[in-house]
Amino acid sequence: MKKTITITAIVCTLFMNAQTKITYPETKKINHVDTYFGENINDPYRWLEDDRSAETGTWVKMQNDVTYRYLATIPLRDQLKSRMENLWNYEKISAPFKEGEYTYYYKNNGLQNQSVLFRKDKNGKEELFLDPNSFSKDGTSSLGGISFSKDGSLVAYEISEGGSDWRKVIVLDTKTKKTIGNPLVDVKFSGIAWYKNEGFYYSSYDKPVGSELSAKTDQHKLYYHKLKAAQKTDKLIFGGDIKRRYVGGSVSDDENYLFISAANSTTGNELYYLDLSKPDSKVVSLINNYENDNDVLDNKGSKIYLVTNFNAPNKRVVTFDLSNPSKENWKDCIAETENVLNPNTGGGSIFASYMRDAVSFIKQFDYDGNLIREVALPGIGTAGGFGGKETETTLYFSFTNYVTPTTIYSYNVQSGESKMYQQPQVDFKFDNYESKQVFYTSKDGTRIPMIITYKKGTPLNGKNPTILYGYGGFNISLTPSFSISNAVWLENGGIYAVANLRGGGEYGKVWHDAGTQLKKQNVFDDFIAAAEYLIQENYTSSDYLAIKGGSNGGLLVGAVMTQRPDLIKVALPAVGVLDMLRYHTFTAGAGWAYDYGTAEQSVEMFEYLKGYSPVHNVKAGIKYPATLVTTGDHDDRVVPAHSFKFAAELQAKQAGENPVMIRIEVNAGHGAGKSVAATIQENVDMQAFTLYNMGIKELN
């Protein structure tokens, strides 16, 4: 790809009306041209990609100043914040899990920025074990992951600072809580897999040249860290020869095998193993292509239980022996069904979690694949958990839906009896609300499910403020779950709708593939059809409809608002992938090519991406919806330059009076580990912006 650069600064100052005139910050344009297959594409805001420059920092501050001044004028903002804080302020306790001599669980007293890890000894005495709120004064550091050794005497935990995917790892003696050795640094996209009490396996990239928040990272490596040893002496196990973007290791429960997954994209992986019982064994290939998703579920000696979508788009569990691992020797343990499978193990059983139209049902199997029972769930919604050690007789699972906060249940593995273990006390009148699943038809005739939640008795008069949420990518399924911020929205007369678009995982690999690469427009068409259904059925109208999504869902919002600006009143793209010609040049973005394709892939792919890329499809003179772009200045997954450039394009070209704002959270990343205080304020600002621009000045 040839590049030519000429520099000419064009100063653009815009004025728009909200209650008062808004003067947007000056965003200069620099003539930067990229050439794709003989076509020149101008990228005037390329300079905003430099997250280390003082100039970009100044632009961020100026944009935030304008945005927060605007938000401060919204009369219902303080009222929303007060209610959201009050509703959020209830005790939250996780399912317990046993490690060694202790039972551990997370607890948040209500408004703590990060949940705290507690434990009880065999006598039931409670003590604080690890408090992530002590990691930083402002709550911007969080617990990024934790792993106990098999006997529970050691623990390694990851710290994320400022929301970054780069982590440091600290090891403790669990009895004394004293640190062992020096912290590991520059660890990214990694689990921690203990081997005995001697050390553990972890993954990372070499530190990139340039900005660690945006520079490309494309060679993932698996290391072994020996306890107390210097990190520089860690042994490279896998990934040093052939580049792979994602490499992970897991140690079998009997500690005889290291299983290694290697991938170049977020879909499809190779599989390898290392026999840890033999001192000089070599890494052995089990699956040497990226055509399918393959995950080791468990093993019984050399007999492997594998979850795969090979010849099974909805997944199945197969078994084989390591002495004869070729696919012709695979045998079904749990065969594929018409519903998507996501299994877990605990208490000597396999728990097969299925989705039927995005709603959970669970079946318990023995290790020979015999059905023991279907697990009785508390209602229609999302169940998760059922994981634990083989020796456990009691497991735990969570249950939630759009009007039921996450509730923890205990489950007796032998009898199948469930009991409520932990029910949160939330100041929300659940019985006043209902969820309804509907099916609508997309542009090409495909039947799409959507769940609509609202206050009982809501009049279908086309005037209800409505948020339509979607994702539609990366085989990710949107299943019913309770949200405190959504509860506030519902209390104020709002409708919340979630569409299960193609590109997601709700109906398996076929559904996912139907929303990838040259079929990506299907996802946008599905979302547009959802909006049209809500309007046609008088749930809402274009004057009261907002669309919302984050990450790949931010792309969804950006594409739909540029393709159908007439359809909606408010757009809320969060941490979005918005420059489709350059997304793969940042951090680990190249790994998303299975879903998106790349601009260098072919002329056809370039033209297709250019045709919907939000940054490249903002047109001068169009009246776009009121837009609040949200991102974090430390987002090193979807770099904030996507959002910066999209906001700059919208501000430069917007016609009419709808405001175009960008809200940039400082010391925040892609979303994981964000403090409770920051999460509340962000949700308050999105709802206040949305209601205000729908003309709603008072709450119910």
The predicted-structure confidence for 285-302, as pLDDT tens digits, reads as follows 999 999 999 999 999 999
144-194: per-residue pLDDT in tens?
A: 999 999 999 999 999 998 888 999 999 999 999 999 999 999 999 999 999
pLDDT recorded at residue 20: 52
The mean predicted confidence, pLDDT, of the chain is 94
| Helix/strand/coil percent split, the chain, to 5 | 20, 35, 45
Query: Edge-to-edge strand order for the sheet containing 154-161?
Result: 141-148, 154-161, 166-173, 184-188
202-260: per-residue pLDDT in tens?
A: 999 998 888 878 888 889 999 999 999 999 999 999 999 988 999 999 999 999 999 99
- CB neighbourhood size of 227 (10 A): 17
| pLDDT for residue 617 is more than 60 | yes
pLDDT recorded at residue 298: 98
| pLDDT for residue 10 is more than 50 | no
Give residues with Cβ within 8 angstroms of 215, minimum separation 6: 208, 209, 586, 587
367-413: per-residue pLDDT in tens?
A: 999 999 999 999 999 999 999 999 999 999 999 999 999 999 999 99
Crossing angle of the two packed helices 552-563 and 603-612, in degrees rounded to 10: 70
Spatial distance between the Cα atoms of 448 and 458, rounded to a whole number of angstroms:
24
Residue corresponding to tokens 């939640």: 453
Cα dihedral 608, 611, 616, 622 in deg (nearest 10): -170
Of residues 668 and 692, the one with the higher pLDDT is 692
Total-model pTM:
0.94
64-114: per-residue pLDDT in tens?
A: 999 999 999 999 999 999 999 999 999 999 999 999 999 999 999 999 999
Give residues with Cβ within 8 angstroms of 668, minimum separation 6: 140, 162, 163, 632, 633, 634, 635, 674, 678
- CB neighbourhood size of 513 (10 A): 17
> Average pLDDT for residues 411-418, to the nearest whole number?
98
| pLDDT for residue 484 is more than 70 | yes
pLDDT recorded at residue 499: 98
Helix (H) or strand (E) holding 534: helix 521-536
> Average pLDDT for residues 609-613, to the nearest whole number?
98
Give residues with Cβ within 8 angstroms of 457, minimum separation 6: none
pLDDT recorded at residue 670: 74
471-483: per-residue pLDDT in tens?
A: 999 999 999 999 9
Residue 305 sits at φ, ψ, to 5 deg, of -105, 115
Crossing angle of the two packed helices 77-88 and 676-693, in degrees rounded to 10: 140
Q: How many CA atoms lie within 13 A of 352 on its CB side?
A: 26
Q: Mind telling me the catalytic residues?
A: 551, 670
